[in-house]
Structure 1
Amino acid sequence: MQPQVVAGRYELVRSVGAGGMGQVFEGFDRNLKRRIALKLTSANLDAGPEWTKRFYREAELMAGVSHPGMPTIHDAGIHPGHPDRPFLVMEFVEGRTWEQLLAHRGPLPIGVVASLGAQAAAVLAATHRHRVYHRDLKPANLMMCDNGTVKVLDFGLAVALDGDFTRYSNTGQTLGTPAFMAPEQIEGDEIVPQTDLYALGLVLHELLTGRRVMTGSNPYVVWRDQVHTPAPDIRLDRGDTPLEMASLIMSMVEKMPSHRPEDAATVHNVLLRHATQIAVLPEVGDRHSPVHMYARAVSAPAASRTAPTMVADAQSTFAPSVSAPETTKSFSRGEIRAAMRSAREFADQSRYQQAIQELSHVLEAAQLALGSRDVDVFDARIELADLRFESGNYPVAAGLFLGLVDDLTAERGPYDEQAMYCRRQLAGCKVHLGQVRDALAELGRLHGQMLARYGADDKRVIDIGAQITHIRAT
C-alpha cells in the first residue's frame, strides 16, 4: 500500500495523536530527509471556516515566537481533496508527555517537578511577551524529551490580543480542557497571563500528588468546582514540599487572577531555586546531551569565568553590585500600569511635563528589571512616545517611535499591530518636522503591506489611506 503524501513531499508514517483541530502524524520530509510532525485538520471541520482560520492562526502564533521549548514550524499549506484540508508541518518531538510520566511513575520527585515547571514557565514567559496565551495547558500538552528538556505543545486554542485588545477566538466559547481551565476562562472573562499560570499550577499540583485536582462526573461539575472550590493544600499530600514552592503553587491556583503570581518569570524564578537534575529519571536517556552543555555555558555564573588574579578586595568588588538586584526584585508590573494611568491623567490636564517625568522614571526602572522588549515595557514606551508627540516635541517623539518600530519588528514581525501603529506615528512626526515626502513614502509602504495582507476593506487599510489623503491635502 502506497503511503499518503502531503504537498508532494511529506510522507505520513503513522498517527501519533489528535489535537484540538485535527490529527497529528509522524512523517518524513522527502526533500530534506528528516522526520517531521504533520498536523492535518479533521475532514469534518470543512464546514466551519473559523476552524480553518484558527488552524492557520496556530501556525502564525507558533512561527512568531522563537523558543527552544516550542516545536519549530517548518511549513503550512492546503492538502487538496474532498474537502481541502489545511496542514501544518512541525519539528518532530520525541519524548514522553507529562501525562505518560504520571501514568508510569505516579508522583514525581520535588526537584524534578520544579525543573519541569521552571522550563514550562520559561516558555510561557516567551509567549506572554507576545501576548499569546496558550489556554489549554495540561499534562498531555507538555512533553519531556529524552534529554530532559520540556516542549509545550498544541497552541491550537491560543489567544492573541490584537491592537483593539479583542480576543481572536469568539467570546463565550468554552474552549479548553475542563480539568485545567481557569475560572475566568469558564466564565468568558478576559484571558490574561495568569490564566495559563492557573493551569500550570494545577499541573504541578498533580505531578506532586499524583492526583487530578479538579474532577467530576461531567464537565459542568468540573467547571463549577473550578470557579468555586479551592484546590486542596498541596502540603497535606506532599508534606515534604518546600514551603516556598508550595506557597507558589497554591497562589497559582487562586480563583482571582489578581491573586496569582504577577507573571511567568516569577514562577520560573521560584521553581528554579528548588530544581534538581532531571536526569534522575530513567526516562532521560541522553544524560550527556549537547543541549545541557549549551545551557550550562549560557547560565554559567560570571564568577566561574573570572581569573583569580583579577579578583579585587571582596568588599569593594561586590558591595556596589548588591543594591542593583534588590531594586530589580522589588519592582512590580503594577507600577508600570499605575504610572501610565497617572501620566495619562496629567496629560488630560495638559500637564505634560509632570506626565513625562513620572512615566520616564518608572520606565527606566522597568527596563532594568524586565528588559526593553517586555510586553508591558513596550506599552509604556509607546505611551511615553505618544506623550512627547502630544506635547509637540516631535524630534524626540520621532526618535522614540523609530526605536519602537525597530524593536517591535525584530521581536514580533512587521505586521504586529503596535509596530504598525508606531510607523504611522513616526510618519506623523515627520509631517510636523516638514519631512512630508519621507512621511508619505513611509505610509505608502505601510499601506501596500497592509493592502496585500488584509485587503482593501480592512479598517486599518482604509485608515492609512485616509491619513495619506489628508497629508496630501494639507
Structure 2
Amino acid sequence: MGSQSIRAGEVAGGRYKLSESLGKGGMAQVWRAKDLKTGQDVAVKFLRPDSEDLRQLDTLHRRDELDTLRARFRREATLLEQLDHPGIPELYGHGSHQELPYMAMRLVPGVTLHKFLREHGPLTFSVAVAVAAQMAEALACAHTLPVVHRDLKPQNVMISDDGVVVLIDFGIAKPLGIGATQYTRHGSTLGSRGYQAPEQILERDTTARTDIYSFGCVCFELFADRAPFVVDGTMGLIEQHLHEDPLAPGLFAAGIPDAVDDLVLRMLAKDPGLRPSISEVQAVLGPLTPCVDSPEPRPRLPWDPTAPFRLPRERSVGRRLPVPAPPVSENEDEWLDASAVERVCDEARREIRSGKPRDAVRRLGELAYQAREEWGSRRPLVRQIWELAAEGSYLAGDCGAAVHFYQGAADDLVHGEGPQERADRAVLRLRLARCRLEFGEIESAIRAVDEAGHVAAGLPAPLAAWVEDVRRQVDANIAGRLTDPKLGHRPEA
C-alpha cells in the first residue's frame, strides 16, 4: 500500500478529480469528485491503509488484514455492479490510485438517518414508515441477488435531498450461497454494536434473516424514537440482544398500528427462522406509506422521505422504485386454491419446456411465499412452486431470482436424509451453482460440483446417475467460463 495521503486536485483513474473529503470510517475514506467525462459530481471511496486498527497489528497480521480488506473492497465493487436500485448507489468505475483501491459511485447529497433521527425525532408515523418502506425496497433488491448487507444501522442509511432513502457502505456485504467466501476482521465480529443479530454476536453463519434483525433494530428506532435495548445497569447490551425479548415499539410511541408492532417484534426474534422475509416486511409496510397528495409533514423537513410517495413525478433519481407485487386475490383474506395453483404449475411446466417462461412462471414467483406460509414447508405442491419458479426464472435470465428460489428449495423444502432427499438436495445446489456462475462465482461452483460428487458416490445407481448427469453439465459450464475470455473470471472476494 502506498503511504502518500490523498489530496484535493488529484485525479483518480484519469477521470475523477477530487475536490473535498466527505469523511472517513474505520477502513475507508470518501471524497467528493468531479467526473471529468460526464461533468457530474460523484463520490469516490478509497481503502485506508493507515487506520488505527491496522497500526495496532504486527507486520504479519497487518499484511494479512490488508489482504482481507482488499478482497472485501473488490467484492463491494462487484456487488454494486450487480445491484440496480435507486436505494443503492450505482457504481460508475473502480481501480487503483497511488496503489490505493478506489470505487466511484453515485453521490448522495443529503443526511444520514442517524443525524436525521437526532435532529428531527421523534418522527411522525408517516415519516417513519416512509423511511422503513424505502429501506425495505432497497434491501429486497440486495436479497434477491442474493446479498446480505451485514451492517445495517442509521449511520449506513442516507436520506437524499429529494427524500430517497439509500443504503450505503456494502463494505462487509456478502453474497449468499454455497461456498461463498467469508472474511472476518482481525479479533472482531462483523456488524455494529447495538444492531448485530444474535448469530453475528456468536460468530455463526449469516443469512438474509440476519439483515432482517438489524433492520428491525432500525425500525424500532424509527417508530419508537429509541433503541430496542439500552444499557440499564442490570444487563449489558450484548446480553440483551442474545437473551432479552424487546417490548413493542407501540409502548413508547402513540399511533403505531398493531401490525407494525407485531412485524418489528418478529424481525427481532432471536431465532432467524422465526423472522419474516423481506417480502413479508414489504407486505406490511407498503400499504401504510403516504399516498399521492397526502399532506406534507408538519413541521416541514429539509429532507422529506414522504416525498417519493406523495410526489412520485418529482423524484430526481432516474429509476423508479419497484411497484409492490399485486395481491394474489381480490380478497386479501382468501386462501389459496390448491387446484388453481396446480393448474398454474402445469402451465409453468409447459412454458419451461417451450423455453419461453412467461405469465405462469411469474405467477408462481408471486405465490411462493404465501403458499409456504399457508401450507407449510412439507407439502409437495409448495416445493413444486419454488422449483418451477427457480427454473423458469433461470430460463428467463433472472439469475438473482433463480438463486433465491433454488436456495430456498434446497435449504427449507427438501426434508429428510434418505437417498432421494440427498439426491434432490444435491441437484438443487448444482442448479444454484449454475446460476451463480452468471455472477462470476466460479470457485463456489467448483466446490458445489465436488460436493455433489461425494453425495453421488453414496447413492443407489439410478439416483447417482441423475446427480452425475447434472454435475457434468455444471462442470461443462465451469470449463466454458474458464476457457472463454469473453465470459471472464471474476475471483470471489
Compute the TM-score of the two structures, normalised by the length of structure 1.
0.69
Residues 165-204 of structure 1 mapped to structure 2, 5 A cutoff = 167-169=182-184, 173-204=188-219
Write the mapping of 1:15-414 to structure 2, written as runs, cut at 5 A. 15-44=21-50, 47=63, 48-80=66-98, 84-161=99-176, 163-164=178-179, 167-169=182-184, 173-216=188-231, 221-261=236-276, 263-277=277-291, 280-281=296-297, 282=301, 283-284=303-304, 287=311, 288-290=313-315, 295=320, 330-332=370-372, 338=378, 358=380, 361-366=381-386, 372=393, 373-379=401-407, 412=439
Task: Choose 237-246 or 225-234, whichever is displaced more.
Answer: 225-234
Partner amino acid, structure 2, of 1:364: Q
Match of 1:346 in 2: none
Is 2:481 aligned against 1:446? yes
CA displacement at 1:267 relative to structure 2? 0.5
Residues 119 and 368 (structure 1 numbering): CA distance in 2 closer, same or farther, change over 3 Å? farther
User: Cα gap change, 1:328/1:441 in structure 2, threshold over 3 Å: closer, same or farther?
Assistant: closer
Matched residue SS, 1:178: coil
Paired residue secondary structure (2:269) = coil
Task: Decide whether aligned partners of structure 1 residues 320 and 168 sit closer, same or farther in structure 2, where only a CA change above 3 A counts.
Answer: closer
The answer to whether the 8 A contact 2:86-2:317 is kept is: no
Structure 1 CA distance for aligned equivalents of residues 205 and 322 of structure 2: 40
TM-score, normalised relative to structure 2: 0.67
Secondary structure at 2:288 match in 1: coil
Structure 1 contact 161–167 (Cα < 8 Å) conserved:
no
Residue 121 to residue 163, structure 1, CA distance change in 2 (3 Å): same
CA shift for structure 1 position 447 = 3.4
Q: Distance in 2 between matches of 1:319 and 1:279?
A: 36
1:23 aligns to what SS in structure 2?
strand
How far apart in 1 are the matches of 2:148 and 2:76?
11
Aligned mates of 2:11, 2:97 — CA distance in 1: 9
Could you tell me which runs of 5 or more consecutive residues in structure 2 were left unpaired when the two chains were aligned.
Answer: 1-6, 55-61, 342-362, 394-400, 414-418, 421-427, 453-463
- 2: distance between equivalents of 1:440 and 1:156? 31
3-state SS of paired residue (1:244): helix
> Given that residues 402 and 432 in structure 2 are in contact (C-alpha distance below 8 angstroms), is that contact kept between their aligned partners in structure 1?
no
Q: Secondary structure at the match of 1:16?
A: strand
Q: 1:442 to 1:175 in 2, by over 3 A?
A: closer
Could you tell which deviates more after superposition, 10-19 or 202-211? 10-19
**Contact (CA 8 Å) 1:107, 1:206: kept in 2 or not?**
no
8 Å CA contact retained: 1:161, 1:168:
no
Distance 1:65-1:279 versus aligned 2 partners, 3 A rule:
farther
* Residues 2 and 413 (structure 1), Cα distance of their counterparts in 2 relative to 1, 3 Å cut: closer
Which residue is 2:20 aligned to?
Answer: 14
Corresponding residue pairs, total: 405
Q: Is the 8 A contact 1:363 1:380 kept in 2?
A: no
Q: 1:94 to 1:293 in 2, by over 3 A?
A: closer
Q: CA 1:337–1:374 in structure 2 vs 1: closer, same or farther (change >3 Å)?
A: farther
Identity %: 27
Structure of higher CA gyration radius: 1
The whole-number CA distance in structure 2 between the counterparts of 1:441 and 1:228 is 48
Alignment RMSD: 4.8
C-alpha change, 1:28 and 1:446, in structure 2 (3 Å) is same
Give the secondary-structure state (helix, strand or coil) at the position aligned to 1:164. Answer: coil
Name the residue aligned to 2:354.
Answer: none
SS of equivalent residue, structure 2 residue 236: helix
Matched to 1:134, the amino acid is: H
1:98-142 per-position Cα deviation (integer Å, ceiling 9, x unaligned): 112212211212122222212212222222223321111011111
Report the CA distance shift for 1:25/1:170 in structure 2 as closer, same or farther (over 3 A): closer
CA distance in 1, matches of 2:268, 2:322: 34
Counterpart AA for 2:82: G
Q: Say which SS state the counterpart of residue 258 (structure 1) adopts.
A: helix
SS of alignment partner, residue 188 of structure 2: coil
Offset of residue 94 of structure 1: 1.7
Alignment partners' CA distance in 2, 1:275 and 1:265: 15
Looking at structure 2, the residues matched to 448 and 8 of structure 1 have their Cα atoms a distance apart, in angstroms, of 32
